DNA sequence: ATTGCAAGAATGTCAGACAATCTGCTTGAC
DNA sequence: GTCAAGCAGATTGTCTGACATTCTTGCAAT
């Protein structure tokens, strides 16, 4: 039997609930970039005590989802295009590697899961629900990353994607982006299904580059 | 003038001091892998209150330097060889990319700094001070990562290296590892100094692979 | 318009408390 | 003698309340 089968269920603690709730709130753009978070207000809204909140904030700080400046407290960092570019570049590095490995080692069962998630995205892409588009697209990637055979690759990728997830919501709503995204993702899927490592890498690289370009367009059009 | 010139000095807060102290303590192997950390003991040793300590522990948890299981508290995770391997693989990805970029864009001033750090490692390598070897080697890499033009690459790399830093201390003490490491690092330096991207990538890849092999040897010999 | 100051707000940190959970040891049954 | 049940101590999760320090803001004065 597997040696590290983890049967232990993790009790939901206030700290973890709070981290999850705040993370979701940040993703959904509830706070303006640059705006400060007032501890007392958050405590009241979340119905928790200040020590618990502060622990949660430290976790989010380490994830780079918020910044905490001594004596000024937590705030939502304004993500510059420079940093976003840097994140996209590292994402490219990681996703290309993951797609290539995935093509060589994914199991038939997981491949079906990947196909399912692609279908889910297809459905979302034809709708106007940009939140559904982002989440289903994220599912697609996370299956690839989960099957690349390297848990660290997955972990690092998740951390990066978190920071630019709200970019995706905006770029998805660009005219036609969801459809072309779908085509690129289908290409990646086909390559993985065929077990063609090189092609999977190439397709994955193309996809990230286009996503990056779309993110830039959506940012420019906003300024 | 630079737009993000950060003149703000960060006051040293208890939380930050504590994170730094504990991180250093973990690096230096003060705690056995798998051993639990007792909050009350740490509070007494550090002379701080429990809320402050718990905030620091949350930061370290997010860095993956400790694990916190609900109702069992913090402990030092036992780093399996599987995970260590995964980390080395991602390190390879990042360091190769960084070395290649660095070769194309490093400034003469920073190149001199890199040369200096190489000399420092050379001196340490001929001694038996494995701590000095690890720190000077870390300086060498961090200069490369700082000059690759991608701050995210640097940030992610730092997070990974932190988790396996104590491996390096052990593998450096392997017979002859410091000397061969020196040769590999000098090769990387030469390639960067020559501005040869491809060669820098190749040399960097070789270096990580050998470091990984050395880490495995040191781990095997311990079991 | 700029400077300086004072009141208010927010954070950093601590002390103490209590319920829930875990751990180890004693006790009892077979 | 071994194993299970149960109890006491240890430890964590969480809250309340407090206070000094630091930041912010509005107002007055130059």
Which tens digits make up the pLDDT trace of A7-28? 456 788 999 999 999 999 998 8
Nearest to A59 among B8, B58, B94 (CB): B58
ipTM value for the complex: 0.89
DSSP A120-184: HHHHHHTSS-HHHHHHHHHHHHHHHHHTSS-HHHHHHHHHHHHHHHHHHHHHHTSTTHHHHHHHH
Distance CA B121, CA B31 (A): 27
Distance CA A1, CA A18 (A): 35
pLDDT at position B91 is 95
Q: Where are the domains of chain B?
A: 14-75, 81-220
pLDDT at position A185 is 96
Residues A147/A105, Cβ–Cβ less than 8 Å: yes
Residue given tokens 């040793």 in the structure block: B45
Q: Which residues of B touch A69 (CB under 8 A)?
A: 8, 10
Q: Which residues of A touch B157 (CB under 8 A)?
A: none
Distance CA B117, CA A37 (A): 42
Which of B22, B86, B99, B92 is closest to B55 using CA atoms?
Answer: B22
State the average pLDDT over residues B181-185.
94
Lookup: tokens for A123:
């459905």
What architecture (CATH level 2) is domain B14-75?
Orthogonal Bundle (1.10)
pLDDT digits (tens, 9 = 90+) for A70-86: 999 999 999 888 999 99
Protein-proximal nucleotides of chain D (any atom < 7 Å from a CB): 11-18, 21-24
* Residue A41: nearest nucleotide (C-alpha to C1'): C10
SS3 content of chain B, % helix, strand, coil (to 5): 70, 5, 25
Distance CA B172, CA A184 (A): 45
* Residue B71: nearest nucleotide (C-alpha to C1'): D12
Which of A70, A143, A4, A51 is closest to B11 using CA atoms?
Answer: A70
For B85, nearest residue in chain A (alpha carbons): A150
How many Cα neighbours within 13 Å face the side chain of A197? 8
- Give the minimum alpha-carbon distance from B128 to chain A in angstroms, rounded to a whole number: 32
Lookup: tokens for A131:
């939140």
A68 forms beta bridges with A74
- Length of chain A as a residue count: 223
**pLDDT band with cut points at 50, 70 and 90 for residue A222:** low
Vertex A216: Cα angle to A214 and A217 (nearest 5):
65
Is the CATH code 1.20.1730.10 the one for domain B81-220? no
């Amino acid at each position: 039997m597997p040696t590290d089968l983890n049967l232990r269920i993790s009790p939901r603690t206030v700290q973890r609930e709070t981290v999850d709730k705040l993370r979701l709130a940040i993703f959904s753009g509830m706070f303006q970039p640059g705006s400060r978070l007032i501890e007392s207000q958050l405590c009241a809204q979340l119905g928790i005590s200040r020590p618990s909140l502060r622990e949660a904030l430290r976790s989010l700080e380490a994830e780079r989802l918020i910044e905490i400046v001594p004596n000024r407290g937590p705030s939502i960092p304004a993500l510059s295009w420079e940093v976003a570019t840097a994140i996209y570049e590292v994402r490219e590095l990681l996703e290309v590697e993951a797609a290539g490995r995935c093509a060589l080692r994914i199991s038939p069962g997981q491949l079906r899961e990947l196909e399912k998630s692609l279908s889910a995205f297809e459905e979302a892409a034809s709708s106007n629900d940009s939140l559904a588009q982002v989440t289903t697209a994220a599912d697609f990637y996370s299956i690839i990353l989960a099957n690349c055979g390297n848990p660290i690759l997955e972990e690092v990728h998740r951390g990066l994607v978190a920071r630019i997830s709200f970019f995706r919501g905006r770029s998805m709503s660009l005219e036609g982006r969801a459809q072309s995204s779908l085509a690129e993702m289908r290409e990646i899927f086909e390559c993985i299904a065929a077990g063609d490592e090189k092609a999977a890498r190439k397709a994955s690289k193309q996809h990230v580059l286009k996503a990056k370009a779309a993110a830039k367009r959506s940012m420019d059009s906003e300024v």
